[in-house]
C-alpha cells in the first residue's frame, strides 16, 4: 500500500511548457498534490484560468501592469491572494504551507526564488537549469546547509537520478548525457549561416518553450545541462560526456566503476520526469503513453560536432574555469537568444556573443550571491551592446 502523503506545491512558471505539464500531472493524481501557488510573467488569461481550476492560496503575476486585471478577474475568489513585484516569487517559494517548489520559470529569474526556497528548507523540483548553471556551488551549498533536497525535472538529469537510486556513493565512473542534436544536426557552419528562427523553433522530438528550443538547436542546452549535472550529482568535469542520440529515447546513462552501464528510457514526454520529481521516492502509477521498441527499431548515436556548434565547447570551458564564468555564459546566451528571436542576430552569432562576453566580463573565482547578481547585470550590459 502507498504511504504517500499529499504534497503542497508552489509552481513557479505555471503557464509555460513545464508548468502546464506539471498541472497535467497534478490532474492525473487527484488528492496527491495541492497547488498552493501559481506564477506567470505575463500570460494573464491562462494564469486566471489555472487559478479558477486549482484554487491556490496565492498567484503571482510578474508583469505589474497586469496586476489589476488578474485581481479583478479573481475578485470573486477571496481565498486566492494576488501578488506582483520584485520579491513576490521569493515570498511564495518560502511560504510555510509549501512543501515542494517546482521551478518551471525560464532563465536567470529562477535563481533568487530558489535561494529563498532553499533557505526556508523547501524541497526543490528543479526544471530551471539556469539556477545551477549560474550559481551551482552556492545553491548546492545552501541545500546542504538547510537540509533541502533538489530533485531534477530535466529529462536527462531525471534519467541519471533514476539510474543512481540504490547505488553506493563513489561508484560512478562517468555519466553520458544524451543530446538530440536539434533540428540542425549534421549541418555545416555555412548552412547554419542562413537558418531561420522558424526552423530553429522546430525541435525534432520535444515541444518546449522558445528559449530552451533555441538552446537545443545551438547545443547550448546540452552545455547548460553538463554544468547542471556537475552540481546535481557532485561530479568532476572529466566525469561528464555528451553523445548525440537523435531519437531522444535513451534519456541519459551512468557508467559505474565496474564498467556496467545503466540507462533510463522512455518516450520524449516531460510528464514522467515531472511526476518522478514530485512523487519521489515513490513511483506513482499513471496511464501516460508507453514506449515500444518495435516503434523505434533504430536507436543511433553520434559524436557531437563541437567545431560547428561552438556553444557546447564554450560551456565546457566555462565549467572548467568555474567562478562566475558559467554565470557570464548564461547571461550572454539569454541576451543572444532573445536577440535571435527578435531577428536581430543570425544563428551563428549566438556563440560569438557568448565567447565575447566570456572574454570581456571580469572573472571572479569565488562569487557571492551579490557577485552573481552583479555579473549577470554586467554581462547583459556587454551582450546588449554586441547584439545591437
Ligand X SMILES: CC(=O)[C@@H](O)[C@H](O)COP(=O)(O)O
Ligand Y SMILES: NC(=O)C1=CN([C@@H]2O[C@H](COP(=O)(O)OP(=O)(O)OC[C@H]3O[C@@H](n4cnc5c(N)ncnc54)[C@H](OP(=O)(O)O)[C@@H]3O)[C@@H](O)[C@H]2O)C=CC1
Residues binding ligand X (CB under 6 A): 154-156, 179-180, 182, 206, 216, 221-222, 270
Please report, as residue ranges, which positions from 145 to 184 form the binding site for Mn ion (by CB under 5 A).
Answer: 154-156
Largest CA distance in the chain: 62
Which residue stretch of 94-102, 132-140, 205-213, 362-370 sits at the interface with ligand Y (rule: CB under 6 A)? Answer: 205-213
Is residue 155 annotated as involved in ligand binding? yes
Work out how close the CB of 206 gets to ligand X at its nearest, in angstroms, rounded to a whole number.
5
Which residue stretch of 10-18, 170-178, 193-201, 319-327 sits at the interface with ligand Y (rule: CB under 6 A)? Answer: 10-18
Is residue 218 annotated as involved in ligand binding? no
* Secondary-structure percent of the chain, ordered helix, strand, coil, rounded to 5: 45, 15, 40
Which residue stretch of 15-23, 166-174, 183-191, 299-307 sits at the interface with ligand Y (rule: CB under 6 A)? Answer: 15-23
Comparison of 73 and 226: residue with beta carbon closer to Mn ion: 226
Comparison of 14 and 180: residue with beta carbon closer to ligand X: 180
Work out how close the CB of 222 gets to ligand X at its nearest, in angstroms, rounded to a whole number.
5
Q: What's the rounded Cα separation, in Å, for the pair 149 and 129?
A: 15
150 contact, one of Mn ion, ligand X, ligand Y, none, CB 5-8 Å limit per kind: none
**Is 380 strand, coil or helix?**
helix
Partners of residue 241 on adjacent β-strands:
176
Q: What's the rounded Cα separation, in Å, for the pair 8 and 246?
A: 37
Work out how close the CB of 377 gets to ligand X at its nearest, in angstroms, rounded to a whole number.
26
Partners of residue 11 on adjacent β-strands:
38, 102
182 contact, one of Mn ion, ligand Y, ligand X, none, CB 5-8 Å limit per kind: ligand X
Residues contacting 57, CB < 8 A, separation 6+: 36, 37, 79, 80, 81, 95, 97
Bond into 281 cis (ω within 30)? yes
Which residue stretch of 9-17, 251-259, 277-285, 376-384 sits at the interface with ligand Y (rule: CB under 6 A)? Answer: 9-17
Residues contacting 285, CB < 8 A, separation 6+: none
43 contact, one of ligand Y, ligand X, Mn ion, none, CB 5-8 Å limit per kind: ligand Y
Is residue 156 annotated as involved in ligand binding? yes
Lay out the sheet containing 261-265: strands in order across: 240-244, 172-179, 250-256, 261-265
18 contact, one of Mn ion, ligand X, ligand Y, none, CB 5-8 Å limit per kind: ligand Y
Q: CB atoms < 10 A from the CB of 227, how many?
A: 26
**Is 81 strand, coil or helix?**
strand
Contact indicator for 220, 177 with CB cutoff of 8 Å: no
Which residue stretch of 30-38, 91-99, 100-108, 301-309 sits at the interface with ligand Y (rule: CB under 6 A)? Answer: 100-108
Please report, as residue ranges, which positions from 171 to 200 form the binding site for ligand Y (by CB under 6 A).
Answer: none
Work out how close the CB of 227 gets to ligand Y at its nearest, in angstroms, rounded to a whole number.
12
Output the nine-digit C-alpha cell for 379: 554581462
Is residue 42 annotated as involved in ligand binding? yes
Is residue 216 annotated as involved in ligand binding? yes
CA torsion angle for 45, 42, 273, 369 (degrees, to 10)?
-150
Is residue 286 annotated as involved in ligand binding? no
Q: Using the rule CB under 6 A, which residue among 13, 223, 246, 322 binds ligand Y?
A: 13
Identify the burial level of 87 via C-beta atoms within 10 angstroms of its C-beta, where 0-12 means exposed, 13-18 middle and 19 or more buried.
exposed
Q: Using the rule CB under 6 A, which residue among 24, 27, 42, 86 binds ligand Y?
A: 42
62 lines the binding site for ligand Y (CB under 6 A)? yes
Q: What's the rounded Cα separation, in Å, for the pair 308 and 344?
A: 21
Is residue 366 annotated as involved in ligand binding? no
Output the nine-digit C-alpha cell for 131: 539556477
Which residue stretch of 102-110, 114-122, 226-234, 340-348 sits at the interface with ligand Y (rule: CB under 6 A)? Answer: 102-110
Residue-level length of the chain = 388
Work out how close the CB of 64 gets to Mn ion at its nearest, in angstroms, rounded to a whole number.
32
Q: How far is CA 20 from CA 110, 153, 380, in A?
A: 17, 14, 29
Interface positions with Mn ion (CB under 5 A): 154-156
Would you list which residues are annotated within the binding site for 1-deoxy-D-xylulose 5-phosphate?
129, 155-156, 180, 203, 216, 221-222, 225
List, as residue ranges, the binding site.
Answer: 15-18, 42, 128-130, 154-156, 180, 203, 209, 216, 221-222, 225
Amino acid at each position: 500500500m502507498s504511504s504517500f502523503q499529499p504534497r503542497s506545491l508552489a509552481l513557479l512558471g505555471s503557464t509555460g511548457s513545464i508548468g502546464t505539464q506539471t498541472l497535467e500531472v497534478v490532474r492525473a493524481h487527484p488528492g496527491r498534490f495541492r497547488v498552493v501557488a501559481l506564477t506567470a510573467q505575463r500570460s494573464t488569461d491562462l494564469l486566471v484560468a489555472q487559478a479558477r481550476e486549482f484554487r491556490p492560496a496565492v498567484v503571482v503575476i510578474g508583469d505589474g501592469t497586469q496586476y489589476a486585471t488578474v485581481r479583478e478577474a479573481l475578485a470573486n475568489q477571496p481565498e486566492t491572494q494576488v501578488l506582483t513585484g520584485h520579491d513576490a516569487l521569493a515570498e511564495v517559494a518560502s511560504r510555510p504551507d509549501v512543501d515542494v517548489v517546482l521551478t518551471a520559470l525560464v532563465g536567470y529569474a529562477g535563481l533568487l526564488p530558489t535561494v529563498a526556497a532553499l533557505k526556508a528548507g523547501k524541497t526543490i523540483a528543479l526544471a530551471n537549469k539556469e539556477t545551477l548553471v549560474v550559481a551551482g556551488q552556492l545553491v548546492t551549498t545552501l541545500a546542504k546547509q538547510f537540509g533541502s533536497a533538489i530533485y531534477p525535472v530535466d529529462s536527462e538529469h531525471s534519467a541519471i537520478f533514476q539510474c543512481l537510486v540504490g547505488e553506493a556513493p563513489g561508484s560512478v565512473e562517468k555519466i553520458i548525457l544524451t543530446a538530440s542534436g536539434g533540428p540542425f544536426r549534421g549541418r555545416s557552419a555555412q548552412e547554419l549561416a542562413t537558418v531561420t528562427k522558424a526552423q530553429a523553433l522546430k525541435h525534432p522530438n520535444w515541444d518546449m518553450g522558445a528559449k530552451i528550443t533555441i538552446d537545443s538547436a545551438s547545443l547550448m542546452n546540452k552545455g547548460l545541462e553538463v554544468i547542471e549535472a556537475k552540481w546535481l550529482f557532485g561530479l568532476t568535469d572529466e566525469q561528464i560526456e555528451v553523445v548525440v542520440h537523435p531519437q531522444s529515447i535513451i534519456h541519459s546513462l551512468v557508467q559505474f566503476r565496474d564498467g556496467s552501464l545503466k540507462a533510463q528510457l522512455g518516450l520524449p514526454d516531460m510528464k514522467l520526469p515531472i511526476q518522478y520529481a514530485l512523487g519521489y521516492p515513490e513511483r506513482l502509477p499513471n496511464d501516460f503513453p508507453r514506449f515500444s521498441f518495435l516503434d523505434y527499431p533504430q536507436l543511433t548515436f553520434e559524436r557531437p560536432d563541437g567545431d560547428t556548434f561552438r556553444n557546447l565547447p564554450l560551456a565546457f570551458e566555462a565549467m572548467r574555469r568555474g567562478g562566475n564564468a558559467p554565470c557570464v555564459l548564461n547571461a550572454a546566451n539569454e541576451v543572444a537568444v532573445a536577440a535571435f528571436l527578435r531577428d536581430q542576430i543570425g544563428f551563428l552569432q549566438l556563440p560569438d556573443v557568448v565567447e565575447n562576453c566570456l572574454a570581456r566580463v571580469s572573472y571572479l573565482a569565488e562569487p557571492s550571491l551579490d557577485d552573481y547578481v552583479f555579473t549577470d547585470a554586467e554581462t547583459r550590459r556587454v551582450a546588449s551592446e554586441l547584439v545591437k
